[in-house]
């Protein structure tokens, strides 16, 4: 795993009491990074960073095997994880009802309050997943704001004042501690370095930092109030990675003087290799897992990325890859089957639609969300995700039971074919959609934003990754579009120019220079000769 070196000879560096270094340009908060918190991070980093690097190296070796022609497959069917009589630790009372969970970036105070509160129709989600990962660009200011928001959310004290603007009066947003969704936090993935916090000039793991600092500042408070500290963990690729996370959770509990299994986590099964190891992953997590989640969008990205060199597995337009595809449906049903037989929740994924701005569009979008959630409920999921408060009530109508732990799907084969399959349209419109998402998302990214509402969809890092992976795969294999010619670098570049012109026309050429910069950056990213496994594996160094 490459790391970003901070040249201490030529950069103004702040050295904290425990030998942790930060760029002088990075905000230092003596409360969030107290001496005690620093010592906490230092011990965890020293224990867990060497094994993290081993696991990241193993990822590279597996991908090299896939690039050479191998495919992900199931593991030993006679292992203790598969044949043993085990269940996860009992699900705590405050996690027994998770019908609807809303997600969004943790750094936006206003959005966090709205996620935790009732919408205009009076509907409230059961849980709100405050995201340090796909919905948030991990700039240092965003991370620090996110930590502050988690603390305020857990304590029920979070407030935000929207200043007066364009003739509208100032508005105050605040939580109602007696009537708010349960707080959950998604940490960053195993691969992400936090470049602004270093020990011996080695960046700390972003995910370790997110877990450690949020738990340090909130877990004991929650425990003493009878609340469960609740986390989401993304992008696990192997059961040994699950073991690493489980041991990290146990170490955090021990250091904070909390009983084992106090902290509970839901892990996203959103990679092709993890989909083949659901039971093994859950087995490793059995002391801390309260469920698994079908992370459909990152899973589609992983499908393309994992088999990108395989000419017989070129995926169709991203809009046509949904949960009705056989390998996607079977991955979800298998996850539900295993989770429910092992006493864990099985959460559905995100319908990424936004409400739209006119009544006709809103009805169409609502119908799509409701149909998606009805499908998930009929399969046996215990709950689902929504990306916008407007859809909470509609999702609740689909999930009418507290949970569905007693529902065991019929699974003719516990080991179905989960490998992505070719087939379906490959069109110029699909190429244009991917390009538009690339330009718009990178525009947001360059403005410190990690998710955007675009063309009636909520586009986060996962959907950007799908778009660039799909264009790269089509380009590498010289795919011929159903309604056009071969996908070449020249064609992709032309489409980028054309879609930028459309965007500028739609926006009245507002911020033209910034849009041009975003287009160039997105085009260069999409056309890289060697495919980067992630948009980034590190946060930017604060200036």
Tokens of 306: 């994992």
Instruction: Find all residues with CB under 8 Å of 363, minimum gap 6, and list them.
Output: none
For tokens 């998302």, name the residue. 441
For tokens 């011929």, name the residue. 480
Bridging pattern class, strands 193-199 and 20-23: antiparallel
Separation between Cα atoms, residue 186 and residue 134, nearest integer Å: 9
Q: Which of 323, 325, 327, 233 is nearest to 281 (CA)?
A: 233
Tokens of 107: 């750094």
Report whether 131 contacts 103 (CB < 8 A). Answer: yes
CB-count exposure of residue 513 (10 Å: 0-12, 13-18, 19+)? exposed
Active-site entry in 186, 436, 468, 538:
186
Report whether 376 contacts 336 (CB < 8 A). Answer: no
Give me the residues paired with residue 231 across strands.
185, 265
Separation between Cα atoms, residue 489 and residue 478, nearest integer Å: 10
Tokens of 445: 């990214």
For 292, how many CA atoms within 13 A lie in the half-sphere containing its CB? Answer: 35
Separation between Cα atoms, residue 326 and residue 416, nearest integer Å: 9
- The verdict on whether 186 is a catalytic residue reads yes
Separation between Cα atoms, residue 228 and residue 222, nearest integer Å: 6
295 torsion bin: left (phi>0), alpha (psi -120 to 50), beta (else)? beta
Q: Which of 217, 222, 249, 219 is nearest to 233 (CA)?
A: 249
Separation between Cα atoms, residue 126 and residue 102, nearest integer Å: 8
Separation between Cα atoms, residue 173 and residue 161, nearest integer Å: 6
Q: What backbone torsions phi and psi does residue 15 show, to the nearest 5 degrees?
A: -105, 120
Separation between Cα atoms, residue 404 and residue 427, nearest integer Å: 40
Active-site entry in 296, 460, 523, 538:
460
Report whether 269 contacts 278 (CB < 8 A). Answer: yes
- The verdict on whether 57 is a catalytic residue reads no
Separation between Cα atoms, residue 237 and residue 60, nearest integer Å: 11
Residues involved in catalysis: 186, 460
């Amino acid at each position: 795993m490459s790391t970003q070196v901070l040249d201490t000879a030529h950069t103004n560096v702040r050295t904290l009491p425990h030998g942790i270094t930060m760029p002088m340009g990075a905000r230092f908060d003596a409360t969030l990074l107290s001496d005690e918190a620093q010592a906490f991070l230092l011990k965890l980093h020293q224990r867990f960073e060497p094994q993290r690097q081993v696991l990241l190296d193993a990822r590279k070796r597996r991908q090299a095997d896939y690039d050479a022609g191998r495919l992900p497959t199931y593991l030993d069917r006679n292992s203790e994880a598969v044949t043993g009589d085990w269940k996860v630790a009992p699900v705590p009372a405050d996690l027994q009802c998770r019908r609807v969970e809303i997600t969004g970036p943790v750094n936006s105070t206003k959005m966090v309050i709205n996620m935790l509160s009732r919408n205009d129709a009076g509907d409230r989600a059961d849980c709100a997943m405050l995201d340090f990962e796909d919905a948030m660009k991990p700039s240092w200011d965003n991370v620090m704001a996110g930590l502050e928001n988690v603390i305020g959310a857990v304590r029920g004290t979070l407030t935000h004042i929207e200043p007066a603007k364009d003739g509208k009066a100032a508005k105050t947003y605040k939580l109602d501690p007696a009537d708010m969704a349960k707080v959950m936090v998604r940490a960053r993935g195993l691969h992400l370095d936090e470049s602004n916090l270093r020990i011996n000039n080695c960046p700390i793991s972003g995910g370790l930092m997110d877990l450690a600092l949020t738990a340090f500042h909130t877990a004991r408070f929650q425990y003493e109030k009878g609340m469960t500290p609740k986390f989401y963990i993304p992008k696990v690729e192997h059961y040994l990675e699950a073991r690493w996370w489980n041991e990290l959770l146990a170490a955090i509990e021990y250091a904070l003087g909390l009983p084992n299994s106090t902290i509970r986590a839901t892990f996203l099964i959103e990679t092709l290799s993890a989909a083949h190891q659901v039971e093994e992953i859950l087995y490793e997590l059995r002391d801390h897992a309260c469920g698994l989640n079908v992370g459909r969008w990152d899973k589609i990205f992983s499908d393309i990325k994992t088999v990108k060199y395989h000419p017989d597995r070129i995926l169709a337009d991203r809009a046509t890859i949904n949960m009705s595809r056989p390998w996607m449906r079977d991955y979800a049903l298998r996850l539900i089957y295993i989770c429910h037989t092992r006493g864990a929740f099985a959460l559905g994924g995100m319908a990424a639609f936004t409400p739209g701005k006119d009544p006709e569009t809103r009805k169409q979008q609502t119908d799509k969300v409701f149909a998606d959630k009805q499908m998930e409920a009929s399969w046996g999921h215990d709950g689902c995700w929504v990306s916008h408060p407007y859809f909470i009530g509609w999702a609740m109508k689909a999930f009418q039971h507290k949970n569905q732990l007693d529902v065991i799907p019929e699974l003719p084969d516990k080991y179905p074919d989960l490998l992505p399959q070719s087939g379906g349209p490959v069109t110029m419109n699909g190429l244009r959609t991917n390009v538009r998402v690339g330009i718009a998302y990178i525009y947001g990214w360059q403005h410190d934003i990690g998710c955007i509402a675009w063309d009636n969809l909520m586009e986060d890092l996962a959907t950007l990754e799908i778009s660039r992976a799909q264009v790269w795969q089509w380009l590498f294999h010289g795919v011929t579009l159903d309604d056009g010619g071969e996908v070449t670098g020249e064609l992709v570049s032309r489409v980028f120019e054309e879609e930028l012109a459309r965007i500028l026309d739609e926006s009245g050429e507002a911020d033209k220079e910034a849009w041009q910069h975003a287009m160039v950056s997105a085009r260069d990213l999409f056309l890289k000769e060697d495919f980067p496994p992630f948009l980034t594996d590190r946060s930017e160094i604060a200036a």
